[in-house]
Amino acid sequence: MIHILVLCTHNSARSILAEGMLNHWAKQLGKDVRAYSAGNMPSGRVNPLALAVLQDAGVDTSGLRSKSWDEFAASDSPALSIVMTVCDNAAAEACPLFTGQAGDPPVKVHWGYPDPSSADGDDDAKRRAFELTRQAIGYRMLQLLQLPLASMGRSELATALQNIGRS
């Protein structure tokens, strides 16, 4: 099983969208991948628009919740293959020490997205911002799932993830 942790400061929008989309696509494609999300300052609530656009796309949102990244630094946490940041604030933070596969630290990557929670305009404009972010994240998650994750070395995986982030 490949375990991927997606980080964002408040764990209420972008990281939730990424967790939902990655788990959805992994299940659809029969991939042995499990995504989680967390934040360094979790809000304690998921943005309702994040849940709405995921549900509209047919994504199961039943297990999604805002949580601290400390849950994934514990000794009984899943061994992480990848730790991904999706907002600039989390990318700049000093992360806890996460446990990786075979004692190696997980591969780290930053795929930044504008915060849809900060979108201007009426409710329709805000919902559109969330949907566009969901689509952008979903596209990269599909690219990630096309990689031969189980057979890639750390360096090869890091390069492939950086290339996806540039696409």
State whether residue 47 is helix, strand or coil. coil
Q: Which residues pair with residue 35 across a beta bridge?
A: 4
Question: Computed from CA positions of residues 58, 60, 62, 65, in that sequence, does the dihedral angle turn out positive or negative?
Answer: negative
95 an active-site residue? yes
Q: Tell me the residue type at 62.
A: S
87 an active-site residue? yes
Instruction: Give backbone dihedrals phi and psi of 161, rounded to 5 degrees, phi first.
Output: -65, -40
Q: What is the number of residues in the chain?
A: 167
Q: Please state, in angstroms and rounded to a whole number, the distance separating the CA atoms of residues 98 and 106.
A: 7
Task: Please identify which of the residues 8, 50, 51, 90 carries the catalytic annotation.
Answer: 8
Q: Tell me the residue type at 10.
A: H
Strand locations in the chain (E): 2-7, 33-38, 82-85, 107-110
154 an active-site residue? no
Which residue in the block uniquely carries the two structure tokens 């004692």? 103
Element (H, E) at 59: none
Task: Please identify which of the residues 64, 86, 95, 160 carries the catalytic annotation.
Answer: 95
Task: Please identify which of the residues 2, 51, 59, 87 carries the catalytic annotation.
Answer: 87
Residues labelled as active-site residues: 8, 87, 95
